[in-house]
Amino acid sequence: MKTELISYLFLSYLTFLVSGTPQFTTCPSSVCLSQPVTYECNSGAASLTWIVLDANGDSVGIPVAYSQFSPVGTTGSIGTQFNTVLINGTNSLGANITFTPTLSMSDYIVQCGGAGTLLVNCSIVIAGIPTPVENGAIAYEAPVSTYIRYNWVSSMSPCLSHYVLVVRSTSSMDGINYYNVSASSSNYTYLDLPLSSTNNTLYNFSVLTVDTGGRSSESIIRQIIFN
């Protein structure tokens, strides 16, 4: 039984090499802005070519090609934003392509394949802005009556950079206060806030999420009156 299994795996491997079917071994469903990302491809052949297409289907820069005679570690570049490196120089070849996503790369397509084989695609999909879910729980920070703790359900998005808590009092002449709050791995994120007055004062609270590219979300304003 063991011998038959080994024979089957060996034949499957040979079939893969002969068929020359390229495949992405790393192809994220979405990527975060300004965070370097790496795609990995196995060409299924003794050569490997990287091609990048823009949203209109036009080629970006000059494609990078490797052969079985290319030393492992050989690097290349497509334009100024995409860098490649050969990680496996035997049949079949494997290589990485690394880039830092920008909004202009949305819907770009990264292609990989061997000479004379079909190319496989991996799209660059920019992740959306994380959205916080406000819990709205309010707790006074005893014994200081002019402090409250405002908390909300944390976003677990890998693209979250930080939060901005916006606070405005309808009775204050100081305008709007903005508080930057670091991302948290806990289920809830909170901030203790000093309030100038808690005597029949209406406050507007809103939580914005800011992603790694600096984009911010919209948030429903929550109004709370303190008696």
Low-confidence ranges of the chain (pLDDT < 50): 1-19, 141-143
The token duo for 218 is 């919209």
Fold of 133-226: Immunoglobulin-like (2.60.40)
Is there a shared CATH topology between the 18-123 domain and the 133-226 domain?
A: yes
Per residue in 44-85, pLDDT (tens digit) is 999 999 999 999 999 999 999 999 899 999 999 999 999 999
Per-residue confidence (pLDDT) for residue 12, from 0 to 100? 36
Does domain 18-123 correspond to CATH entry 3.40.50.620?
no
* C-beta atoms surrounding 18 within 10 Å: 10
Per-residue confidence (pLDDT) for residue 80, from 0 to 100? 95
Per-residue confidence (pLDDT) for residue 190, from 0 to 100? 83
Domain layout of the chain by residue ranges: 18-123, 133-226
Round to whole Å and give the CA distance between 121 and 141: 54
Per-residue confidence (pLDDT) for residue 113, from 0 to 100? 95
The DSSP-derived string for 67-111 is ETTSPTT-EEEETTTEEEEEEE-SSS-EEEEEE---GGGTT-EEE
Per-residue confidence (pLDDT) for residue 14, from 0 to 100? 38
Per-residue confidence (pLDDT) for residue 225, from 0 to 100? 72
Closest CA to 97 of 116, 122, 118, 117: 122
Per-residue confidence (pLDDT) for residue 86, from 0 to 100? 97
Furthest-apart CA pair in the chain: how many Å? 82
Per residue in 80-111, pLDDT (tens digit) is 999 999 999 888 899 999 999 999 999 999 99
